[in-house]
Amino acid sequence: MIVKRRLLTLRCVIKGKVQKLTSNLVMVAPQCEARDANTDTEYSKCVDLRRPHKVKRAIETMDKDSNVTEAQTKIFEAVANTRIALIVVDFQNDFISGSLSVKEGSAGEDPLDAIPIINDLANEESLDMVVYTQDWHPKNHISFVERAKDTDRMLENGHHDKELKAFDAVQFETPSLKQVLYPSHCVENSWGAQLHSDLVLPGSNVFLIRKGEETHVDSYSAFADNDGKQLNELEKLLKSNNITAVLCCGLAYDICVRHTLSDASKHGFLTGVIRDCSKAFSQEMASDTNKFLASEKIAILDASTAKSVINGEKIPIEWLSKICDKLKSDED
C-alpha cells in the first residue's frame, strides 16, 4: 500500500533534532523539471523521499522542543498518510474539437496531446480517487453570447444595443454580474458536453462532478459558482474520503483549472497542477496563471514527477512547507 511505502521511506530518515523551518528549505530540493520553453512554466522543486539525507535537510520546521521525537513523528505521519485525488477538469468534446476548442486559442496548445498522459496517470493504482468534471450548461446559459439578450436577463445600457461577440466581457443588470461571453458550449446531454471518447476511466474510485448547471451564473471552479455560492459536492466528496491532497489537470489551464486549484487550496488541500496534462487557451493568461499558482504555493508538476508524488517517492516543496506550517500552527 502507498501509506506503508511512504512510512518505510520516512522511518529511516532522521534521528536528530527537528529545528526551525528556514528560507533555505527550497535550496535543498532539486527542481522537478527545467523551465518549459513553450509554456514559460517553471516547475516546482521536490524532495526525494527515497533519499533520507534530502528529507533530513528539508524538514527543519519546529523550534527547539523538549519532545522533538514527537514533532518528527507528526511530520512523518502527515506525509505518509497523504491521500491523493486526481481531478481531471472538463476534458469535453467542445473544448477539444468543438465550439470552444482550446487549441484555437493564442496559446496554441492541443488537448489531444494530453489524453494518453492523463489515462496513464488516472490508472495509477496508488491514487486514492479520480474525479472527472464536466461543464453542464442549460441551452440558455448566461455565458452564451447567442443568449446574452434573452428576455430573462438585462444588459447594462452600454451593452444592450451593442453587437456582441465571443469573449466580450459584459455587465448584466439582471442578474447583477459581470460575465465573459463564449460561444454556446457543453450544453447538457449534447455531444459537446460528453467527455472525450479517448479518455480511459479507471475501474474503481471514479466520480463525476458537473458544474455550470444554473442558468444565470457561470462556474469556472468545480468547487463553487462564480458568484461565490458553494457547490459543496466536490469538497464533501473529497473530505468524506479523507483526501488531503489534490492533483489537478485539464481544460482550460488558465480558466477552469486555475479556479479549481485556487478553491482546492482555500479548502485546505495540498494542491498541485500537472502542467503537461493541462492545456491553456490564452498565452498571456497561461503566464499569469503560472505566477498566480506560485504565489499561492500550489505546486506545478509535470506528469513524470506527479507519478512519483502519487507513488510516495517525492513530495513538492510547497506541500512539505504547508505540512510544517500546519503542525507548527497546531502547537501554538
Residue pair 166/181 in contact (Cβ under 8 Å)? The answer is yes
Rounded CA separation 245/248 (Å): 10
Tell me the pairing of strands 46-48 and 129-135.
unpaired
Cell of 87: 481531478
Burial letters 226-248, b for 16+ CB under 10 A, else e:
beeeebeebbeebeeeebbbbbb
Rounded CA separation 108/93 (Å): 17
Question: Nearest-5° angle of CA 115, CA 121, CA 127?
Answer: 145
Return averaged pLDDT per consecutive 10 residues of the chain, 332 residues in all: 49 35 41 50 88 64 48 75 97 99 97 98 96 98 97 88 93 96 98 98 93 97 91 92 98 98 97 98 97 96 97 92 82 68
Question: Which structural domains are found in the chain, ordered by start?
Answer: 1-81+302-332 (no CATH), 87-141+183-299 (3.40.50.850), 145-181 (no CATH)
Q: Please provide the DSSP assignment of 190-222 as one string.
A: SGGGSBPTT----SSSEEEEEE--STT----SS
Which amino acid, one-letter code, is at 307? K
* pLDDT at 62 (0 to 100): 39
Rounded CA separation 305/88 (Å): 17
- Closest among 89, 13, 32, 53 to 254, alpha carbons compared: 89
90 is catalytic: yes
* pLDDT at 39 (0 to 100): 53
Residue pair 231/224 in contact (Cβ under 8 Å)? The answer is yes
8-state DSSP, 144 = B
Rounded CA separation 286/304 (Å): 21
Residue pair 300/275 in contact (Cβ under 8 Å)? The answer is yes
211 is catalytic: yes
Length of the chain: 332
Q: Please provide the DSSP assignment of 289-309 as one string.
A: HHHHHHHTT-EEE-HHHHHHH
Question: In angstroms, how far is the first alpha carbon of the chain from the final one?
Answer: 33
* pLDDT at 24 (0 to 100): 40
Rounded CA separation 120/257 (Å): 19
Write down the catalytic residue from 211, 307, 314, 322.
211
Residue pair 274/306 in contact (Cβ under 8 Å)? The answer is yes
Q: Which distant-in-sequence residues (6+ apart) come within 8 Å of 224 by Cβ?
A: 230, 231, 263
Residue pair 47/315 in contact (Cβ under 8 Å)? The answer is yes
Write down the catalytic residue from 256, 263, 302, 314.
256
